């Protein structure tokens, strides 16, 4: 059974940076596409970024392109989301999730994900 633990959230000023980590255990991450979702208060959970099983393909929602970078290290069963130039609208609970297919096709289809981290709070405020 794959288990995911996400961490790295916190309070940061606008323009600041945070690095989120998602660590998998129980099953190797090699065959999973991993995505980061976020949920702001009163809003639906939305896809932010995803990375294919090999790390060769990545997707980003338009609002974070050029500011966020996703990467993975399968030997360490870790996926990282580097977030720069943070804005107040980036505030929310961030979750990593895994889907058992290798490509980023439909990677923001939230219903496809059965394995989720517990979430980490990101607050961007002055």
Ramachandran angles phi, psi of 63, nearest 5°? -70, -15
User: What's the whole-number mean pLDDT along residues 16-26?
Assistant: 97
- Specify the pLDDT at position 7: 97
DSSP string covering 22-58: EEEESS-GGG-EEEEEEE-TTS--EEEEEE-TTS--E
Mean pLDDT across 61-83:
97
- Percentage of the chain beyond pLDDT 70 is 100
Rounded average pLDDT over 37-42: 96
Q: What is the pLDDT of residue 48?
A: 98
Q: What is the mean pLDDT of residues 102-121?
A: 94
pLDDT band at residue 75 using 50, 70 and 90 as cut-offs: very high
């Amino acid at each position: 059974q794959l288990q995911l633990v996400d961490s790295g959230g916190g309070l940061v000023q606008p323009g600041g940076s945070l690095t989120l980590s998602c660590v998998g255990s129980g099953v190797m991450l090699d065959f999973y596409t991993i995505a980061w979702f976020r949920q702001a208060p009163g809003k639906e959970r939305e896809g932010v970024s995803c990375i294919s099983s090999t790390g060769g393909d990545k997707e980003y929602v338009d609002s974070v392109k050029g500011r966020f970078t996703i990467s993975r290290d399968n030997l360490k069963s870790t996926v990282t989301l580097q977030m720069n130039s943070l804005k107040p609208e980036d505030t929310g609970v961030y979750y990593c999730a895994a889907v058992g297919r290798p490509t980023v096709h439909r990677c923001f289809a939230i219903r496809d994900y059965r394995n989720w981290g517990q979430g980490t709070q990101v607050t961007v405020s002055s």
